[in-house]
Amino acid sequence: MSKVAIYLNFQGDAEKAFHFYKSVFKTAFSAPMMYIKDLPPNPNGPKFSEADLDCVMHVALPIIGGTELMGTDMLESMGQKLVVGNNTTISLQLDSKDEADILYKALSEGGSDKAPMRDEFWGYWGCCLDQFGIRWMFNVMNTQSNN
C-alpha cells in the first residue's frame, strides 16, 4: 500500500536527532539504522572518507497517524551541503514502477535538481525539485518492484 513519509537531511547529526525523535514519540525504528559503512561494496561507487562511514545512510521512525519520519546525513566530502530548502523532502513510497514514473514525470516538469528514476539495491528510486522548489522522492521497494 502506498504511503507518504517526511524525509529529513542532516549534516552529521541524524543519529542524534532520530534518537531524540524516538524518545519524543515513544516508538521504535521501522528497521535498523543504516550507516554508510553498511552499503554493499561497489567498485564504481564513490570513495567515502573514514568520517563518512559512520554517517547515517537511512533511518525511519513511525510517528503519528501512519506518518513516518525518515532521514540521512548529507556528506560534505561528496559536495553535499545542508541549507534551508534541501533539508526536507516529501517521500512517496509507491506500489509500482508505473505509478512512480507517472508521478515523477508530472512533478519534475519545469523543475530542477533531478535524479532520474532508476533501479538501486533497495528498489526503484528517483528524486526531483518541483517548479515551486519542493523536493520529492519516489521509492518502490524491491519487494514491490515486480508490480
pLDDT tens for 97-146 read 999 999 999 999 898 878 999 999 999 999 998 887 778 999 999 974 44
Grid cell listed for 96: 509500482
Residue 4 near residue 85 (C-beta atoms within 8 A): no
- CATH topology for 3-141? 2,3-Dihydroxybiphenyl 1,2-Dioxygenase; domain 1 (3.10.180)
Domain locations in the chain as residue ranges: 3-141
pLDDT tens for 9-64 read 988 899 999 999 999 889 999 999 999 999 988 888 888 889 999 999 999 999 88
The pTM assigned to this predicted structure is 0.72
